Amino acid sequence: MAYGIKVSKPGNSVFTAGTGDLFLDTTYPILKVKASGTGSLSITDGGSDSDTISHNLGYVPKVFIYGQVFSVFSGDKNDNYVRYPYYEESAATTSAFEYTVDDSDLVISGGYDYGGSSSNTFSYFYYLFYDEY
Amino acid sequence: MGDFGIRISEADFDVNTTPTESNKKNFVYLSDENTPKVYYAGFLTAADPFSGMTYEHNLGYVPIFFFFLTDSASSPTYYRYVNAVSSTTTITQTIGGYGYLIILEEGSS
């Protein structure tokens, strides 16, 4: 016999409502936050930077990372946030902000090559969950 | 006063097992762990495909969000993930006629 919790939206019977009419349905896993935080990558044109966040869960967890990027189309840092990974390429210019996650570490990295000498600091935030990838 | 809360485990995992860092993935729900909450989920419509779509969340921080381009705001036949951008007040997608936005009320900038 299955056990769990269902909470339906107003006007819907919790016994018959479809998934879209339920506020909560523990038939499905709910993301559980293990850790979140912020950081920044300091990058000079042609170079890269990375940060390592250890989680030591022993398995690969789900993660979300959002941060600022360098746009090769505008030739400047974008102060708004996008979801990583993020890649741009135009002619001989490239920009890459990405991450890898394994059973012990989340590594957030970025770099750009615009053929200049600018230096920028790119802020990011991450969420790391107990839920397995 | 004792601890109170809700634990729901996955099938074939004993719910009475004390949650640890290594086994919390085996629980569907643990009420003493933070979970993302849906702040907004809905369709956006642009005035034209090149005018952009903007949603003002005014959360004061950049939230977790997912933006999908669609072909309709009422009966979409596809959802395609795109990398929209967010500030601490708005989420913007520059190209597309219709979009579907999900914002989770967590995050920081």
User: Residue-wise pLDDT tens for chain B (109 aa)?
Assistant: 557 889 999 989 999 999 999 999 999 999 989 999 999 999 999 999 999 999 999 999 999 999 999 999 999 999 999 999 999 999 999 999 999 999 998 644 4
Query: Could you tell me which chain A residue has the CA closest to the CA of B22?
Result: A57
ipTM: 0.88
Sign of the Cα torsion B48, B51, B57, B61 reads: positive
Q: Report whether A79 contacts A68 (CB < 8 A).
A: yes
Which domains occur in chain A, in start order? Answer: 1-28 (no CATH), 31-132 (2.60.40)
Tell me, yes or no, if B66 comes closer than 8 A to chain A by beta carbon: yes
What residues in B contact A2, CB-CB < 8 Å? 11
Phi and psi torsions of B14, nearest 5°: -65, 120
Say which amino acid occupies B73.
Answer: A
pTM flag (> 0.95): no
Tell me, yes or no, if A64 comes closer than 8 A to chain B by beta carbon: yes
Tell me, yes or no, if A31 comes closer than 8 A to chain B by beta carbon: yes
Query: Could you tell me which chain A residue has the CA closest to the CA of B84?
Result: A82
Taking each continuous run of H as one helix and of E as one strand, the counts in chain B are: 0, 9
Query: Could you tell me which chain B residue has the CA closest to the CA of A132?
Result: B25
Q: What is the Cα–Cα distance from A83 to A65, expressed in whole angstroms?
A: 6
